């Protein structure tokens, strides 16, 4: 590297270091001004940060006055869907570089950078800026309402507000496993929830569905989530984990119960273990199709008081996944959704939609986003209950996953 370029790179690194330090104390909505100040000093043009809305339909700018961008119809949306760099001609001699803003496997939004040309130095600085933006958003949204307000297009109902406060990020994962989930109706959920957690050796994931669709249902699910996490963080196995939830619900909410599936995936061997508590069975997706009946087992009583009256011990089932397998957990609100004429969406249409959503080799999170929208956007569609889906994709450490793109 020449002395000029070395000095230029060193100055850029110092500016980025200053940005990182200042981002900690900046207000959430002051982030765009701070980033643009750094971008100008780095020789870049205007920077605009967009976050996805709650239902992953639009990208909403953090800067006031800019219109939202449709995720399915714009270059910025393409960047979000594929989690990859996209370049757009915006004016004579002016380009806009769209970069995905991600927190691990979680898609937060995109960042647009105007520039007259692209080269290795500019791209590296853009990516570093994006990384700092992602860290700042992730840290600040934990204690500020600003980002949540931008992500909403209508007022959230109280049961949904309570339950969403307990939910983990929508997507977690690493190079070899991803767990991603969606919930609808986004602003009115009452009793559905999901949970997932990743350790060095294991992915823990669960889907829950409490009786009813009101504040009490959300409270039931919240207690179940707390019991799940309490047992998991104590290092207990699946059976003890389920029994912890049984005891908690029976003690504190004896007139309520909760169905669900609790799972563990060994990241090295692909061994998938699950306990089904009165819930629809998981669906195994392999080579772009559904392996019918592969994970169907006799369901046991729901969690809570019904389990306390049962003499049947909890059972854990086990299969070994193949590289690239996807496991889909869902609540019955998905298959019971009504279409035109009042007909249920049904299991057959559901599995057909899964095949279509996965056949194109998309990211797991994108497949799930498209699938829930296909259900919601059907002619005269009507959700009679909460509809929740959680999708797990696994690749063994010895296998390099084929990049999935939209």
341-370 residue pLDDT tens = 556 666 777 777 777 777 777 889 998 898
Are 178 and 136 contained in the same domain? no
CA 8 to chain centroid: 38
Are 100 and 28 contained in the same domain? yes
Q: How far apart are CA 210 and CA 98, in angstroms?
A: 41
Q: Give the residue ranges of DSSP H helices in 234-345.
A: 238-252, 305-308, 332-335
Token pair of 214 as six digits? 């009101």
Are 143 and 160 contained in the same domain? no
pLDDT at 371: 84
Are 139 and 103 contained in the same domain? yes
pTM above 0.75, yes or no: yes
Q: How far apart are CA 191 and CA 214, in angstroms?
A: 7
**φ/ψ of residue 307, rounded to 5:** -70, -30
- Give the count of beta carbons closer than 10 Å to the beta carbon of residue 73: 9
Are 89 and 173 contained in the same domain? no
- The label of the residue with tokens 């590289």 reads 323
Are 378 and 249 contained in the same domain? yes
5-26 residue pLDDT tens = 444 455 666 776 777 777 777 7
The answer to whether position 5 is within a domain reads no
Last residue of a domain, one of 106, 131, 149: 149
Last residue of a domain, one of 149, 168, 197: 149
Last residue of a domain, one of 126, 149, 172: 149
The answer to whether position 404 is within a domain reads no
234-247 residue pLDDT tens = 999 999 999 999 99
Are 57 and 135 contained in the same domain? yes
The answer to whether position 68 is within a domain reads yes
What is the biggest distance separating any 2 CA atoms in the chain, rounded to whole angstroms? Answer: 78
Are 142 and 160 contained in the same domain? no
β-pair partners for 58: 70
Token pair of 167 as six digits? 């939910």
The answer to whether position 331 is within a domain reads yes
CATH of the domain at 126: 3.30.450.40
| Domain total in the chain | 2
In 3D, which of 103, 79, 51 has the Cα closest to residue 366?
79
The answer to whether position 403 is within a domain reads no
CA 11 to chain centroid: 37
CA–CA distance from 302 to each of 207, 258, 331 (Å)? 13, 6, 13
**Domain extent at residue 119:** 11-149
135-166 residue pLDDT tens = 999 988 888 899 999 999 999 999 899 999 99
Establish how many alpha carbons lie within 13 A of residue 65's alpha carbon, considering only the half-sphere containing its beta carbon.
0
Are 343 and 231 contained in the same domain? yes
CATH of the domain at 362: 3.60.40.10
CB 378 within 8 A of CB 339: yes
Are 374 and 232 contained in the same domain? yes
């Amino acid at each position: 590297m020449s002395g000029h370029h070395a000095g230029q790179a060193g100055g850029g690194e110092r500016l980025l270091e200053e940005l990182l330090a200042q981002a900690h104390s900046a207000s959430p909505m002051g982030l765009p001004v701070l980033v643009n100040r750094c971008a100008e000093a780095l020789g870049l043009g205007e920077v605009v940060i967009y976050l996805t809305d709650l239902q992953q339909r639009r990208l909403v700018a953090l800067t006031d006055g800019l219109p939202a961008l449709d995720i399915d119809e714009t270059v910025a949306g393409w960047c979000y869907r594929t989690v990859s760099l996209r370049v757009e001609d915006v004016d004579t001699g002016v380009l806009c570089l769209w970069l995905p803003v991600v927190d691990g496997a979680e898609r937060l939004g995109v960042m647009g950078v105007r520039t007259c040309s692209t080269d290795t130095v500019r791209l590296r600085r853009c990516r570093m800026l994006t990384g700092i933006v992602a860290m700042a958003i992730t840290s600040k949204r934990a204690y500020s309402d600003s980002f949540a307000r931008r992500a909403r297009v209508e007022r959230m109902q109280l049961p949904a507000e309570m339950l969403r406060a307990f939910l983990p990020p929508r997507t977690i994962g690493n190079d070899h496993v991803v767990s991603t989930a969606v919930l609808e109706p986004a602003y009115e959920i009452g009793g559905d929830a999901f949970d997932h957690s990743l350790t060095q050796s294991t992915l823990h994931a669960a889907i829950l569905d409490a009786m009813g669709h009101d504040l009490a249902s959300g409270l039931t699910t919240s207690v179940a989530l707390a019991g799940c996490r309490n047992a998991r963080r104590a290092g207990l196995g699946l059976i003890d984990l389920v029994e912890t939830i049984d005891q908690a619900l029976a003690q504190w909410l004896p007139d309520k119960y909760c169905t669900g599936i609790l799972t563990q995936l060994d990241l090295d061997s692909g061994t998938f273990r699950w306990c089904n508590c009165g819930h629809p069975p998981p669906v195994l997706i392999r080579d772009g199709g559904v392996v019918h009946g592969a994970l169907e087992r006799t369901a046991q009583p729901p969690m809570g008081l019904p389990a306390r009256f049962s003499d049947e011990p909890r059972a854990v089932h086990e299969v070994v996944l193949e590289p690239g397998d996807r496991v889909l957990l869902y609540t019955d609100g998905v298959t019971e959704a009504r279409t035109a004429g009042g007909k249920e969406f049904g299991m057959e249409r559901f599995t057909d939609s899964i095949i279509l959503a996965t056949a194109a080799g998309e990211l797991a999170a994108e497949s799930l986003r498209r699938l829930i929208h296909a259900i919601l956007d059907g002619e005269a569609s009507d959700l009679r209950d909460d509809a929740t889906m959680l999708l797990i994709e696994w690749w063994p450490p010895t296998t390099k996953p084929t990049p999935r793109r939209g």
